[in-house]
Structure 1
Amino acid sequence: MLEARELSFQFSPGVSLLQAVSLTLSAGQWVGLSGDSGAGKSTLGKLLAGYVTPQAGHISLDGEALPSRGLQPVQWLPQSPELAVNPRWRVGKILREAWAPSNAQCQAFGIQPGWLSRFPHALSGGELQRVCVLRALAPGVRFLIADEISTMLDPITQLELWQALKQEAEKRQLGVLVISHDTALLERLCPQRYHLHDGQLTSWSAE
Structure 2
Amino acid sequence: MLKARQLSFHFSPSLPLLQDVSLTLRAGQWLGLSGDSGAGKSTLGKLLAGYLAPQTGDVILDGEALPTCGVQPVQWLPQSPELAVNPRWRVGKILREAWTPSDAQCQAFGVQPSWISRFPQSLSGGELQRVCVLRALAPEVRFLVADEISTMLDPITQLELWQALKREAEQRQLGVLVISHDSALLERLCPQRLHLSEGQLKPW
Asked if Structure 1 and Structure 2 have the same fold, meaning a TM-score greater than 0.5 normalized by the shorter chain, the answer is yes
Question: Where does 1:36-185 land on structure 2 (aligned, <5 Å)?
Answer: 36-185=36-185
**Offset at residue 45 of structure 1 (A):** 0.1
Which residue in 2 is equivalent to 1:200? 200
Deviation string 1:98-139 (CA, Å, 9 cap, x unpaired) is: 111111111111111101110000000000000000000001
Matched position secondary structure for 1:98: coil
Whichever residue aligns with residue 150 of structure 1, its letter is S
For the residues of structure 2 that align with 1:113 and 1:66, how far apart are their CA atoms? 34
4+ residue runs over 6 A deviation:
none
Q: TM-score, normalised by structure 1?
A: 0.98
Matched position secondary structure for 2:60: strand
**Offset at residue 191 of structure 1 (A):** 0.5
Number of residues paired by the alignment? 204
Matched position secondary structure for 1:146: strand
**Offset at residue 13 of structure 1 (A):** 1.6
For the residues of structure 1 that align with 2:172 and 2:153, how far apart are their CA atoms? 25
In percent, how many aligned pairs have the same letter? 83
* Residue ranges of structure 2 left out of the alignment (5+ in a row): none
| RMSD (CA atoms) | 0.5
Q: TM-score, normalised by structure 2?
A: 0.99
* Residue ranges of structure 1 left out of the alignment (5+ in a row): none
For the residues of structure 1 that align with 2:199 and 2:111, how far apart are their CA atoms? 38
For the residues of structure 2 that align with 1:195 and 1:64, how far apart are their CA atoms? 27
Deviation string 1:44-94 (CA, Å, 9 cap, x unpaired) is: 000000000000111100000000111100000000001111100100111
